[in-house]
Amino acid sequence: MTGTTLWYTTRATGIVALVLLTGTVMLGVAGTARAASARWPRVVTAGLHRNLALTATAMVGVHVITTVLDPFASISLVAAFVPFSSDYRPLWLGLGAVALDLLLAVLVTSLLRDRLGHRAWQAVHLLVYLCWPVALWHGLGTGTDTRLPFVLLIDAACVTGVAWAVWWRLRLAAHPAARLAGSATLAVAPLLTLMFVYFGPLQPGWSLRAGTPVALLGSHQPTGTTAGPTGHGDQPGLLDGVRFTGRVSVRSGPGARYRTITITGRTAAAPAQAFVIVLHGRSSGGGISLTGGTARIGPPGSGAYVGPVVRLAGEELVAEVSGPAGQRRATFMLTIKGSAVTGTVSLLAADGE
CA distance 152 to 139: 11
Q: Region 148-164: what's the mean pLDDT? A: 92
Q: Please say if the pLDDT value at position 233 is more than 70.
A: no
Whose CA is closest to 145, among 76, 70, 222, 216? 222
Q: Region 8-16: what's the mean pLDDT? A: 90
Least confident piece of the model among 106-120, 164-178, 222-236, 285-299: 222-236
Give residue limits of the domains in the chain: 3-202, 217-349
In sequence order, what E strands does the chain have?
Answer: 239-252, 258-267, 274-284, 287-298, 305-313, 316-323, 326-337, 340-349
**Predicted pLDDT of residue 39:** 54
Residue type at 185? Answer: T
Residue type at 341? Answer: V
301 — pLDDT class (breaks 50, 70, 90): low
Within 10 A of 150 (CB to CB), how many other CB atoms are there? 9
Within 10 A of 135 (CB to CB), how many other CB atoms are there? 25
**Predicted pLDDT of residue 232:** 38
Alpha helices in 114-267 (DSSP H): 118-125, 127-142, 149-171, 176-199, 206-209
CA distance 286 to 279: 14
285 — pLDDT class (breaks 50, 70, 90): low
Angle at 35 between CA 32 and CA 39, to 5 degrees: 150
Give 245-284 pLDDT, tens digit per residue: 999 988 876 666 778 889 999 888 766 788 999 888 887 6
Q: Please say if the pLDDT value at position 45 is more than 70.
A: no
- Give percent of the chain with pLDDT exceeding 90: 24
Q: At what angle do helices 149-171 and 127-142 cross, to 10 degrees?
A: 160
β-bridge mates for residue 116, sequence order? none
Q: Which position has the higher pLDDT, 308 or 208?
A: 308
> What Cα–Cα distance (Å) separates residue 190 from each residue in 63, 105, 146, 186, 312?
25, 26, 16, 7, 44
Supply the pTM of this predicted model.
Answer: 0.61
φ/ψ of residue 319, rounded to 5? -130, 140
**Predicted pLDDT of residue 111:** 78
Q: Region 77-88: what's the mean pLDDT? A: 90
DSSP single-letter state for residue 278: E
Burial call 70-84: b when 16+ CB within 10 Å, e when fewer: bebbebeeebbeebe
Within 10 A of 271 (CB to CB), how many other CB atoms are there? 11
Q: Region 345-351: what's the mean pLDDT? A: 76
